[in-house]
Amino acid sequence: MGRRVLKNRACGSIDVPWQRLDLDRHGRTLLNGQKPCVVWFTGLSAAGKSTIASLLERRLYAVRCHTYLLDGDNVRNGLNRDLGFTAPDRVENIRRLAEVARLMVDAGLIVLVAAISPFRVDRRAAREQMPAGEFFEVFVDAPLAVAEARDPKGLYRKARRGELPNFTGIDSPYEAPEMPDVRIDTVALSAEQAAQRVFDHLQGAGVLPA
Ligand SMILES: Nc1ncnc2c1ncn2[C@@H]1O[C@H](COP(=O)(O)OP(=O)(O)OP(=O)(O)O)[C@@H](O)[C@H]1O
Ligand SMILES: [Mg+2]
């Protein structure tokens, strides 16, 4: 990483230099033969991101891949518990998820991120901080009516009653990916078929151990 100096807005005029470490990502990767990367699931609430990402993680485990599933809901209970659902908070939510994912990739993991991540610009920023070919955007596509009919957490019902302001798809926008690496039509595919589709894509991209 050289001696790059990072912009840390909170530090004012004090430059925080990058500390170079002896063991780099390449070294860590040699241990297990997989290619660390980010697999980013985006889509409406109830589209199936967590369900499909979980199934995918089990499949990856079965072929001895080291993974971590960063689920937006879980991260909101810890690292991001100070954030709500306003537009600036959503931006910060995704920025932190992307930063944590990048650190985990540095540690040699295949990182699955399951988060609505409604804004294109934030997903692009998440992609741009990764080297080319190490970020896969998976669009978990379910029409609003389908997601709303599933509503496993009762969130759409609450949002329709006005109890959840800024709910994606209701009174906050969702910007669908224009060129996702994988698009999953969850009306046509079961969750298991969807997980297999993403697995096949990762295999084709040379991410999995030989
Ligand atoms: N083809 C499908 N793919 C994925 N999930 C499906 C499919 N068909 C039905 N479902 C159901 O839809 C629901 C999707 O819920 P899930 O929690 O995975 O959504 P999510 O995208 O993670 O939502 P949130 O953003 O609120 O966390 C589950 O109850 C799942 O069983
Ligand atoms: Mg989820």
3-state helix/strand/coil string of 118-155: CCHHHHHHHHHCCCCCCEEEEEEECCHHHHHHHCCCCH
Greater confidence (79 vs 10) lies with 79
Q: Per the residue annotation, which of 13, 45, 54, 117 is the catalytic one?
A: 117
Confidence of residue 1 (pLDDT cuts 50, 70, 90): very low
CB burial of residue 31 (10 Å; 0-12, 13-18, 19+): exposed
Please give the pLDDT value at position 2: 45
- Helix and strand tally (H, E) in the chain? 8, 7
Confidence of residue 210 (pLDDT cuts 50, 70, 90): confident
CA distances from 114 to 6, 32, 47, 78, 170 (A): 28, 24, 11, 15, 20
Instruction: Compute the distance from residue 98 Cα to the ligand 1 centre, in Å.
Output: 22
Distance CA 39, CA 34 (A): 14
21 CB neighbour count, 10 Å cutoff: 10
Share of the chain above pLDDT 90, in %: 81
Question: Nearest ligand, CA of residue 141?
Answer: 1
Residue 57 contacts residue 189 (beta carbons within 8 Å): no
Q: Which of 49, 50, 51, 183, when mutated, tests ligand 1's pocket best, judged by the most ligand atoms within 8 Å of its CB?
A: 51
Q: Is 186 in the pocket of ligand 1 (CB under 6 A)?
A: yes
Instruction: Compute the distance from residue 93 Cα to the ligand 2 centre, in Å.
Output: 14
What ligand 1 atom has the least distance to the C-alpha of 140?
21
Please give the pLDDT value at position 26: 81
Strand partners, 139: 42, 183
Q: Do the strands 16-17 and 5-6 form a parallel or antiparallel pair, or are they unpaired? A: antiparallel
Residue 116 contacts residue 45 (beta carbons within 8 Å): yes
Q: What is the mean pLDDT of residues 143-163?
A: 97
Instruction: Compute the distance from residue 76 Cα to the ligand 1 centre, in Å.
Output: 18
Closest residue to atom 4 of ligand 1, CA basis: 48
Q: What is the mean pLDDT of residues 122-148?
A: 97
Distance CA 107, CA 19 (A): 16
Share of the chain above pLDDT 70, in %: 97
Q: Is 93 in the pocket of ligand 1 (CB under 6 A)?
A: no
Which of 149, 156, 144, 140 is closest to 189 using CA atoms? 140
Residue 109 contacts residue 166 (beta carbons within 8 Å): no
Please give the pLDDT value at position 8: 72
Q: Annotated catalytic, 117?
A: yes
Q: What is the mean pLDDT of residues 145-152?
A: 98
